[in-house]
Structure 1
């Protein structure tokens, strides 16, 4: 019998504070129209001082657990994707495990930048298919606002904070059909965020640094290839995909991927305008939103894809 990782619950959390393009234009040389035309972003959420990656992850996780109607103690594995952990160690995964009151469960973090949730889904899929775990919680959670230089017009306009979660469980019904992940470390200089203490530069500020035009070109080409790879692996045609849930980085990159799939933008889940780029949280936040508002329904085939620093990129094809 084929074992699938079936989605049984989703969750999401966005901080209360909203930072608009107009707010940013008061401190850097930009405007609402300039930002929106180039990115598709109007506003983003900013975490409160007392919020952390683990506190936001807990809220998103509890939503997914409630939807799935399971006891948290049924979870065998917790995978947290984050580039903004509460601590270097212990992991945010372990902290989330404690917050959820789970004692007998494996928990750890992964770091694949904006592709983190896709990498997490890939790992969950392997654990469930192998029989090593039955119920897996995957969370993407980020406080990007704390690693952004708010005087850098090229990056501060892009990022926001939030957390998304998905619960997967072993099932004989089709669920996670395939996952595909890749990495290429040659492009470190195009998108990175240094760790000053580890580099012996503890007195140096650490912010996201990006060469936007170069990243854009690689992302568009790479995501085009991952679409082809996913369809070929499942012997599927473009027309069989009901929904595209992309990483919410840039409206032009998303439009290019939709064009590759010959999909109307009505079939694309977009949260970018009001959330910005929430890095590893964005795909799961968008997926959760479309599930909860009824757009994504049981039986729909959904393609999730992301591209991030590393470079990392990947996709997950789900029959919801």
Structure 2
């Protein structure tokens, strides 16, 4: 099998940063301890928070991130023969958003796939892309994670007095952001790189209630009943379950991934895990009574940018990876672990591979 390499990354964040002070004016404050737990300082929304109008679409964000990845690598869009998008918030149910991005990039023909998922989706898409390249059927894959969550957030506070907004609804407003991140994969010569060393993914929430749901716009009940609801499309987050169950999912994901690669945590130079401050996570894992061996081995190597962009679903891992590269925290040859945790139905997806992009 041919090995794959990361040729470049790209990112796109819509609009100007929206601060916690901005949100306090729009929807009221959060208690300091809750705000500290969320850890988000700024986020970007594709929706104008003042008017509720969309300034761009999800597919446009994805296209912008993809174009940046191509430009950085000096690769023409016509060379892309595989395009995979991950999102939980597409422009339309059909056609797949991947085909809209394909059009925007000017590609008449390419293999175009879409993964419908949240945080874990981009790494799942990356695993699919590398299998196409490894088997020799494709050579250049553009993988994009893109999410537009603000259209579900603005109706919570629009035309509502801040003091009338429930605290549990405010938490979501402060937590989430929009954005897109792209990763460009190419076939490589075996002398260049080892390629993907390990990958692992699973849904470990069998028999459990979802930790996050977007309800509405689907086929779970008649459209007439959906339109009669206070919010025809509603984002529902079980904050308590997310806090208590996420550490266990992280521990299981980390163990599975390292075992798949026959590695120790200390072998990894960088862990891209967009779940917040690593010290905060350490406390949560310890309180959950989880074996800390692998986690302790990653001390000082966890990289994320949650405080700057918020929780961005499918975009989280590629945005954090792009941030780590752009800030000079990755060097060619570094073993990079990508680890995505998704609370929708308690999923994870991970990958370990060498970093192959020059500074």
Same fold (TM over 0.5): yes
Q: Could you tell me whether the CA contact under 8 Å between 1:249 and 1:276 is conserved in 2?
A: no
Cα deviation for residue 254 of structure 1 reads 7.4
CA deviation map 1:3-62 (0-9, x unaligned): 222101100011123222222223445337344311211111111423111101111101
Q: Could you tell me whether the CA contact under 8 Å between 2:341 and 2:349 is conserved in 1?
A: yes
Structure 2 unaligned segments of length 5 or more: list them.
48-53, 158-164, 287-291
Alignment root-mean-square deviation, CA:
2.2
Q: Could you tell me whether the CA contact under 8 Å between 1:19 and 1:44 is conserved in 2?
A: yes
Distance 1:197 1:243, change over 3 A: closer
SS class of match (2:226): coil
Instruction: Quote the Cα distance in structure 2 between the aligned partners of 1:227 and 1:175.
Output: 20
CA deviation map 1:79-99 (0-9, x unaligned): 100111111111110000010
Q: Could you tell me whether the CA contact under 8 Å between 1:113 and 1:312 is conserved in 2?
A: no
Partner of 2:214: 193
Partner of 2:113: 108
Instruction: Quote the Cα distance in structure 2 between the aligned partners of 1:220 and 1:42.
Output: 22
Structure 1 unaligned segments of length 5 or more: list them.
none
Cα deviation for residue 130 of structure 1 reads 2.1
CA deviation map 1:232-262 (0-9, x unaligned): 1111111111111113467634775796422
Calculate the TM-score normalised by the size of structure 1: 0.92
1:173-184 matches, within 5 Å, as: 173-183=193-203, 184=205
1:1-320 matches, within 5 Å, as: 2-31=1-30, 33-48=32-47, 49-148=54-153, 149-150=156-157, 151=165, 152-171=169-188, 172=190, 173-183=193-203, 184-196=205-217, 198=219, 199-200=221-222, 201-203=225-227, 204=229, 205=231, 206-248=233-275, 252-253=280-281, 260-263=294-297, 266-308=300-342, 309-320=344-355
Task: From the CA coordinates, give the structure whose radius of gyration is larger.
Answer: 2
Instruction: Quote the Cα distance in structure 1 between the aligned partners of 2:38 and 2:71.
Output: 34
SS class of match (1:137): strand
Calculate the TM-score normalised by the size of structure 2: 0.83
Instruction: Quote the Cα distance in structure 1 between the aligned partners of 2:272 and 2:218.
Output: 36
Q: Could you tell me whether the CA contact under 8 Å between 1:4 and 1:177 is conserved in 2?
A: no
Instruction: Quote the Cα distance in structure 1 between the aligned partners of 2:282 and 2:326.
Output: 22
Q: Tell me the number of residue pairs that the alignment of Structure 1 and Structure 2 aligns.
A: 319
Cα deviation for residue 301 of structure 1 reads 0.7
Between stretches 21-30 and 85-94, larger displacement belongs to 21-30
Q: After TM superposition, what 4+ stretches of structure 1 lie above 6 angstroms from structure 2?
A: none
Q: Could you tell me whether the CA contact under 8 Å between 1:246 and 1:283 is conserved in 2?
A: yes
Distance 1:247 1:111, change over 3 A: farther
Partner of 2:161: none
